[in-house]
Amino acid sequence: MPPRIRALFSTLGLVFLFTSAVPLYRELTRRSDIWWTPRPMLVPLAEGKDRVEIYVRGTLLGTMLDAGQLRVVDSAGAGVLTSRDIGLRFNNWDRVRAERVPGLLVYAAGTGVTLCLVILLLSGRLIVRPEREPAAS
């Protein structure tokens, strides 16, 4: 294979390798603690019932709040805790991770295939040799 074409294919291979390896690297090095519900967007207790149930001494928290059984004591004094005072934060990392697995597998496969091709090109294993004519018998 002429050196120019070999350099061109090597360059293209490195570009494709970079294109598939960067998203894979970015996903694998991303912080896993960023998937919590932001504090300003806390989910009210009534809306979070499909994902979480909170019990206090064996009794559902919502039931205790409705009955006025929970009190908060702070510098302003004591007050009855209501359901509006409770906010939930969810860690959605498990859902996000499950959604990203297929994409990561595609990036990993692309990175592996492209890396193999670049190695074959750079090592000279893909050299095109002219065909030989069959030997006359």
Paired with 80 in beta bridges are: 71
| Per-residue pLDDT tens over the stretch 53-108 | 888 888 888 888 888 888 888 887 888 888 888 888 888 777 777 888 888 898 88
Contacts by 78-86 with C-beta closer than 8 Å and gap 24+? 83/44, 83/45, 83/46, 84/44, 86/44, 86/45, 86/61
Q: What is the Cα–Cα distance from 80 to 31, expressed in whole angstroms? A: 38
Domain boundaries, the chain: 1-34+93-126, 37-90
pLDDT mean over 23-35: 80
3-state secondary structure of 74: strand
Selection from 100, 102, 104, 109 nearest residue 16 by Cα = 109
Residues 119/101, Cβ–Cβ less than 8 Å: no
Assessment of whether the complete model's pTM goes beyond 0.85: no
